[in-house]
Chains A and B, each alone.
Chain A
Amino acid sequence: MPVVDIDPDELRELSGHDEKDDAALKADLFGLGLEFEGETDDGELQFEFAPDRLDRLSVEGVARSLRYHYGDARGVHVPDTNDADWTVEVEESVPDERPYVTAAVIRGVDLDERALDSLIQLQEKLHATMGRGRAKGAIGIHDLTMLKGAAHGEEGTNSITYRGVEPDGDTFVALDSDAELTPAEVLEKHDTGRKYADLVADYERYPAIYDDLGLFSFPPVINGRRTEVTTGSRELLVELTGTDQWTIDRMCNIVCYALAARGATIEDVDIEYAGEGPDGRDELVRPDLEVDEKSVTHDRIETTVGVEFEPEEVVDLFERSGLDASYSLGEDVTYDVEIPPYRVDVLHPTDLVDDVGRAYGFNELESRYPDVGTVGGRHERSRLEDAVREALIGLGFEDLLNFHMTSGEANYDRMGVEPGTDVLGGGEPVGITEPYSEDYTQLRTWALPSIMTLLERNTHRAYPQDVAEVGLVAERDETENTNVAEHRTVAAALASQDAGYEDAKARLQALAGRFDADLETPRTEHPSFIDGRTAAVVVDGEEVGVVGEIHPRVLVEHDLELPVAAFEFRLDALAE
C-alpha cells in the first residue's frame, strides 16, 4: 500500500488549520483512510493508504482532502490555464512501445526546500503506483528557462520534439553525471540508468526529447543535467511519456493540482502527433483538466448505504467528497455528478456511492442481519474427505496437513521414483515457472514424500509415530480442462521399532471395510518399497494405490533408524 510522508506544519499551513495538533491531524486523516505508520528521521509523519486515492500521494493532495472533509472547500475546483506557448511534436520515429506523451508548463512556482521535496516525492510515488514502476508512465520535470524552443508555426511559438534515437545515436549529460554519454552508455554506466535499463531493454530505438539545443530527456530513465530543477526554478516543464495516454494525463493532472495548490499558474501545451495519436486524434491540448460526469440514482445510494436520504443531504455529501452534484426531482431521482480531473479511481457510478458512504461515515451505520433464507450444507467431496480422516484418526493416526508445493528432489529423487513412470507418485510434475525457493518448485504428485519429510524432521520425538493425511496431489495431464489433474489422496505411515507390512495392511483393511469397499492386495513392485513386501491397493477391482514396507534406502535417506510401513491410494476409491 502506498505511503505518503507529510510535514505536519506544511499540512496545517496548506489546509488552513493552524490550530490542529499532530494528534488531531492523525485522527482526521484516519477518518479519510490514511493510517499513521510512523515518523521519518526528519520528523515527517508517514501515512499508509489504499491505492485508490493517488491524488493523496503528496501533502498538497492530503490538505485538499482535509479541506473538503472540514467543509472549508466544497465541490469541484479546476485551476485556470493560460494558452499554450509550447508544443510537443511527436515524431514517427518514437518507439512503438512508448508512443504517448503529455505535458504542462508551470509558471510562477515558488519552490522552497519543502516544496521541492514534496514535488520529488509525488513524482516518485506516482511512478511506483500508477506509473507501474515507470513502465506505464514516467514523469520528467525540467527548468523551463533552460530550454530553447524551436520556432513553431506562424506565431513563432516554441516546440520540443519527442522521438526515437538509436541507442548510440546521440549524447547528453545525465543528472548526477559529468560525462557526455549516449543513451546506451547511460544504461550501462549511470546508476539510475542501470536501475531502469530493463524497461527499455527490448526497444529498438530509445525514447528521447529534444529542444533546439539537443537531447535533454531520456524517458523513462533519466533527465538531462541541463534542465535540472532547483529551489531557484520558477518556471517548469512537466512532461510524461508512457504506454497509455489516459494514465499519463491523469498523472500529469495530479502534479498540476499539487503545484497549483502552491500558487503556480498552469499553462497549456499543444501535443502534435505525426502519426496517429490516442483515439485517432493527432492534436491534443494538455493538461486535460476536463471534468468527467457520471450519473447515479438516489435509489442505488439508499440501497447500498442502507439509509434513507433527502436529495439535499446527498448533494451535501457529494460536495464534501470534492464532487459536484445536481439532481432533478421526478419519479426516480438521479444525480449528475461532476468528478475532478485528479481523481483516478472513479470507474463507475458505484464509486460515487462509496464516496457518499464515506462522507456519511460508514461506521455511523447500524448493522442488520439480512433477512434472507438459504439452506447450508457441505460439499460431498469435503464430507468424504472428513469421513476418511475420522476413520484414520479412529485407527490411531495423527492427522497431518502438509504443503502441496514441494521440490523434485523430495517428491521423486529421495523416494527413488522417476518422473514419468507408471508407479504411484511417478506422474509428470506441474512445475512452478519462477520458483521462489528451491524447496517449492512443483506440486506434489503423491503425499508419502511429505509424510517421510515430516518423519525426518521428528526423529527426536517419541515413537510410535503413526501419521496420515488426506490431501491434494496433482500431476500434468493435458486431457484436463486446466491441463492439471488434481485429486485427493489418502496416505498413511506407521513408524515404530516393529512396524511391518501387516500393520499397514491391517489398517488399510479396516479403512476399506468401513467404507464397504472390496480390497485386494496383489503383489507389485514400487521403487520406494521393499520388493516382496509391496502390494497394489486394488479397490473394487481398480488399482488405486500401493501398500508396503518402505525401502531401507529411502529410510536412510530420511535419517530414519526404524522401519516404516505405509500406504497411499486415491480418495475417490472410497466414494460410493
Chain B
Amino acid sequence: MLDAASANDERTIDEIAASTGLKPETVTGAAFDLRDAGLIGVAETADETIELTEEGREYVSEDLPEARLYWTALELGAADEPVSMSEVIGNADLAGPEVDIALSNFARKGFGAIDAGAVSVNADADPDSDPEAAALSALADGEAPDADEAVLDQLERRGLIDRVEHTTRSLTLTDEGVTALMEGVEAAETVDAVTPELLTSGEWEDVEFTEYNVEADAPVVEGGRKHVLRGTADRVKDVLVGMGFQEMEGPHADADFWINDCLFMPQDHPARTHWDRFALDVPPIQDLPDRLVERVESAHREGWGEDGDGYHSPWDRDFAEAVALRGHTTSLSMRYLSGYAGAELEPPQRYFSVEKVYRNDTLDPTHLLEFYQIEGWVMAEDLSVRDLMGTFEEFYRQFGIEDIRFKPHYNPYTEPSFELFGKHPETGEEIEIGNSGLFREEVLGPLGVECDVMAWGLALERLAMLTTGAEDIRDLHGTLADIDFLRNAEVTY
C-alpha cells in the first residue's frame, strides 16, 4: 500500500485497491493503521449520488401523471372549454394515488386550473420542457441532471429520487511514510490469538498481535472468596496465635453448669432467665463431674475460702444439668481450666476461641441471635490489672485501635472487671469494644486453679463492623445475607 500511495497525488481507496489487488475494505482498515503509525495521510471528501426510485423510473417511461393529465385534457378540448374531471381522468388512464399526484402537481406547475369539478388547460404550458421530467430522464440515462437544487429537492420530496451521501477517502504518503519507504518497511502479519500452531511453527516471531482496546470494560468474574466475617475471624486468630494463644474447641449445646454455674453466675441471675437463654428440649446431662459440681455448688452457697460468703440464691443441680445453647464461649474456658477438656493445665497458659454464641435478643441492625465471640484468657502466677491492660492494648493495637480506656465494671465472674472502650480508627468515636477482668476465686477455686487467670471477651461482629464499615450486621451474617454485599465487600487482611 505504501508503494501504491503517492506523496504528491491523492489516490482514492478504490484506486489503490485496483492497483494492489486488495479488497477496498482491507485497504481502508490498513489505511487507518498506517495513518495511526504516521506513515500516510487520509483525506476524506463527501460525495452525493442521486438514484431514481422505482416510482421515478416508472415516470420516465410513462410521463409524469400531471403531464398525462395535461395532454388528455388538451385532446378533449380543455384549452377552449373546461372538460369534466371524471372524463379527463378516465381517458388519461390515471388510477389510485396517481389521481391526487396528477391533480396537485398539475396546478402547481401552472398546466391549468381545476374549478368546480372541471379541468381547463393553459395552452401555453409545455410539459415537455418540465425540468422535473428532464431531470428524471437524465438520471435514467446515467447522466448528471442539469437541474437546480430546488427541483431535486422537489423530486426527493415526491419520492422519485434518492440522494445518497458517501465518503471518498484519498491517501497520500506523509514525509515519514516516504522516509520509511526509502529505509525499507518490513511488513508483519497481525494475528488475533496466540495459537499452538503459531508457537510450535515459530511463526510467532514474524507476527504482530492485533491491538486491543485495553481500556474497555471486561466481563464480570465473581470467583469464590472467603466470607468477609470469616476474614476478620482469621485475622483475629492470627493475631492471637502470634501472641502465644492456643485455640479452644467445645460444644455449642452445653450444660448450664459449664455455661453459667462454673462462672459463679447465681442461678437467679437475670441473664439466666428463660427469655435470655436458649434452653433446648433434650434431656439433661447426667454425667457432670460430681466432685466439681459439689465444689461449684459450695462456692455458690457458702462462698470460697475463709472469708467467702457465696450467694444468697437458690442452687439446684437440675438447673445445672439442663442443656442450653451457650450464651458465651466462656463455657469452653471453664472446660479447659477444669482440665475436663483435656490435660490439667499448669501455668503459664494462653487460650482463645473465636466461636459462635447464642443470645435471645432482638434481631436488628446491631444485634443478632447468633454471633461470634472472641474469648481469650491468660493463666499465670501473680497477674495484675496492669498485665491485663498491657495484653489487651497489644491485641487492639493490631487492629489500629489505640488509646484503650478501661472503665471499672462489674461481672459476677471477674473482679476487678473492666469494660474496654476504644476510638474508632476512622470516626474517632469512643465505643465499647470488650469486657474483661481477673477471674474470681469463686470461679478458679472450684476448678482447681491455684494461680491467676485474666480473661476478656468481645463480639467479632463489632470488630468487623469497625473494620469493614458494614452498617447492618444482618448483611454480614446468616441466611439473610445479600450475596452482592459478600461479593463486593473489601478484602481485609
Question: Could you tell me which A residues sit within 8 Å of B by CB distance?
Answer: 33, 50-53, 132, 136, 243-247, 294-296, 303-307, 345-351, 353-354, 357-358, 362-363, 365-370, 372-379, 381-382, 386, 389-390, 392-405, 430-434, 436-437, 440, 443, 450, 453-454, 457-458, 461-462, 464-468, 472, 474, 476, 478, 481-484, 486
Contacts and interface: CB of A to CB of B under 8 A. Distances in A.
25 contacts: A52-B410, A304-B385, A304-B416, A305-B385, A347-B310, A348-B307, A348-B441, A353-B415, A362-B416, A376-B246, A377-B246, A377-B247, A379-B249, A402-B481, A403-B477, A403-B478, A405-B369, A432-B325, A434-B275, A443-B252, A457-B479, A464-B222, A467-B483, A481-B251, A484-B280
A386 to B, nearest CB: 7
Contact of B224 (A398, A440, A454): A398
B372 to A, nearest CB: 9
Contact of B303 (A33, A306, A347, A462): A347
B106 interface: no
B391 interface: yes
Given A349-B307, A370-B378, A482 B253 contact: yes
B345 to A, nearest CB: 11
Nearest to A466: B224
B307 A136 contact: no
B229 A401 contact: yes
Contact of B358 (A243, A368, A401, A405): A405
Contact of A450 (B410, B416, B479): B479
Instruction: Kindly list the 8 A-B residue pairs having the minimum CB-CB distance in the complex, ordered from nearest.
Output: A306-B384, A50-B410, A367-B389, A306-B386, A376-B241, A52-B410, A374-B244, A393-B224
Given A484-B253, A484-B282, A378 B237 contact: yes
A399 B227 contact: yes
Contacts of A434: 274-275, 279
A375 B244 contact: yes
B389 A433 contact: no
Contacts of B255: 482
Nearest to A452: B479
Given A362-B406, A398-B486, A405 B303 contact: no
Given A306-B386, A373-B244, A481-B285, A472 B252 contact: yes
B70 interface: no
A483 B323 contact: yes
Contact of A457 (B243, B387, B480): B480
B305 interface: yes
Contacts of A482: 251, 253-255, 282, 285, 323
A476 B282 contact: yes
A365 B386 contact: yes
Nearest to A455: B483
Interface stretch (B74-82, B128-136, B166-174, B348-356): B348-356
Interface in B401-434: 405-410, 415-418
B245 A374 contact: yes
Given A394-B224, A398-B487, A377 B282 contact: no
Given A376-B241, A482-B255, A405 B370 contact: yes
B386 A366 contact: yes
Interface in B435-493: 438, 440-442, 452, 477-484, 486-487
A345 B229 CA distance: 39
Contacts of B249: 379, 381-382
B386 A351 contact: no
B226 interface: yes
Given A370-B390, A378-B237, A484 B416 contact: no
Nearest to B382: A303
Contacts of A348: 303-305, 307-309, 415, 440-442
Contacts of B246: 374-377, 379
B280 A432 contact: yes
A368 B415 contact: no
A481 B258 CA distance: 13
Nearest to A471: B356
Given A50-B410, A393-B226, A434-B275, A474 B387 contact: no
B408 A33 contact: yes
Interface in B335-356: 347-350, 356
B279 A433 contact: yes
Interface in B346-401: 347-350, 356, 358, 360, 363, 369-370, 378, 380, 382-387, 389-391, 393-394
B49 to A, nearest CB: 49
Contact of A404 (B281, B356, B415): B356
Interface in B288-325: 303-305, 307-314, 323, 325
Nearest to B359: A436
Interface residues of B, number: 100
A118 to B, nearest CB: 23
Given A377-B246, A430-B280, A357 B479 contact: no
B490 to A, nearest CB: 15
Contact of A440 (B369, B383, B386): B369
A465 B224 CA distance: 10
B196 interface: no
B287 interface: yes
Given A399-B230, A402-B479, A430 B253 contact: yes
Contacts of A386: 234
Given A368-B386, A476-B282, A345 B245 contact: no
Given A365-B389, A367-B393, A244 B477 contact: no
Contacts of A347: 303, 308-311, 442
A550 to B, nearest CB: 16
Given A378-B241, A431-B281, A367 B386 contact: yes
A530 B282 CA distance: 34
A363 B287 CA distance: 45
B388 to A, nearest CB: 8
Contacts of B415: 348, 350-351, 353-354
Given A246-B312, A398-B483, A399-B226, 20 more contacts: A136-B313, A294-B307, A306-B387, A354-B416, A358-B408, A374-B244, A379-B246, A382-B249, A398-B224, A402-B478, A405-B369, A431-B280, A432-B325, A434-B274, A434-B275, A457-B480, A461-B482, A478-B282, A481-B287, A484-B251
B268 interface: yes
Contacts of B393: 367
A305 B224 contact: no
Contacts of A305: 384-386
B378 A372 contact: yes
A431 B282 CA distance: 8
Contacts of B360: 436
Nearest to A130: B312
Interface in B260-288: 268, 270, 274-275, 278-285, 287
Contacts of B254: 482
B245 A486 contact: no
Given A347-B311, A453-B479, A33 B409 contact: yes
Contacts of A358: 408, 416
A389 B230 contact: yes
Contacts of B480: 457
B220 interface: yes
A454 B279 contact: no
A1 to B, nearest CB: 9
Contact of A369 (B280, B363, B391, B410): B391
Given A379-B248, A398-B483, A484 B303 contact: no
B240 interface: yes
A419 B484 CA distance: 33
Contact of A454 (B247, B479, B487): B479
B225 interface: yes
A295 to B, nearest CB: 6
Contacts of B223: 396
B29 interface: no
A48 B284 CA distance: 37
B252 A368 contact: no
A398 B384 CA distance: 45
